[in-house]
Amino acid sequence: MKTNLYQNKMLIDDLSCFFSNKCVLENVSLSIIKNEILTIIGPSNSGKTSFLRTLNRMNDFNSDFSRKGNVFLDEENIFHMNMEKLRMRVGMLFAMPIPLPMTVYENVIYAPKRLGVIKHGKKSEMDAIVEQALRDASLWDEVKDRLDSSAMKMSGGQQQRLCIARILAINPEVILFDEPCSGLDPISTAKVEETMIALKKRYTIVLVTNNVKQASRVGDRTAFFLMGRLIEIGGTAKLFVSPKEQKTNDYITGRFG
């Protein structure tokens, strides 16, 4: 793996996942390169969300879940890491925006506070974190005058960007997006996509999406999953123009899925 010109941020080595002994992911091996957007496409039940949730061990709470194989983050096996530490480094955004039932400000500062990132507990320090996170999530201009209003009252697109800001506030290394635009209108989707592209300068992004066009718009590389298997992975442009596998071609041209 050292032959790679790019730096691997995460390395997935022969990973298989099971729910109650039913295999949902079979022998997947791939690498995630630093500062890229890796998009994962595939029909439902292809195991793409299970894959994503394994990368920051969100599946570990499910007692039916088991896995084989390993995942490395900067050459460190994530299954030997402290779960909370891992999630600080590998953040996750869910399909539906889930603002916590508190104000916009509190939503952003929630995790830094709990994780002890704020050293002195000064108001100015917290304000700076909140502003920076909201700016990076391109939400600051829309909410700067109502930081103290409930996050539940925002629109869906704003809520999703707030959730991004919440993750940015703890400054992770990798961000996992699980169909982040499935509940959003086209304009909100465009904003979230812009945000993602802006973020890849500093973060490594994995995006699972049901929307093939979205994958072609934002992905540097794209992986195609089907029935729990990785069918093909490659540069997005290449994969969409001349896929190696017939199944990939069928899927991206809309013949099934």
Binding site for another protein (CB under 8 A): 56, 58, 61, 63, 84-89, 91-92, 94, 96, 98, 100-102, 110-111, 114-115, 150-152, 163, 166-167, 170
Q: Measured from the CB atom, is 40 or 58 closer to another protein?
A: 58
Least distance in Å: CB of 65 to another protein?
12
Centroid of chain to Cα 192: 12
Q: Measured from the CB atom, is 153 or 244 closer to another protein?
A: 153
C-alpha dist (Å) from residue 106 to 66, 130, 153: 35, 9, 14
Picking from 62, 68, 64, the residue whose alpha carbon sits closest to that of residue 15 is 68
- Where do the DSSP E strands lie in the chain? 8-19, 22-33, 37-41, 65-73, 76-77, 90-93, 174-178, 204-208, 221-226, 229-235
Least distance in Å: CB of 70 to another protein?
21
Q: Measured from the CB atom, is 65 or 240 closer to another protein?
A: 65
Q: Measured from the CB atom, is 42 or 112 closer to another protein?
A: 112
Least distance in Å: CB of 101 to another protein?
4
Gyration radius of the chain's alpha carbons: 18
Cβ-in-10-Å burial (0-12, 13-18, 19+) of 135 comes to middle
Q: Measured from the CB atom, is 106 or 142 closer to another protein?
A: 106
Contacts of residues 235-241 at CB distance under 8 Å and 24 or more positions apart, as own/partner, are: 236/39, 240/216
Least distance in Å: CB of 56 to another protein?
7
Q: Measured from the CB atom, is 110 or 217 closer to another protein?
A: 110
Least distance in Å: CB of 26 to another protein?
25
Q: Measured from the CB atom, is 85 or 202 closer to another protein?
A: 85
Least distance in Å: CB of 98 to another protein?
4
What CA–CA distance (Å, rounded) separates 90 from 58? 11
Q: Classify the phi-psi angles of 42: left when phi > 0, otherwise alpha if psi is within -120 to 50, otherwise beta.
A: left
Crossing angle of helices 186-199 and 123-136, rounded to 10°: 110
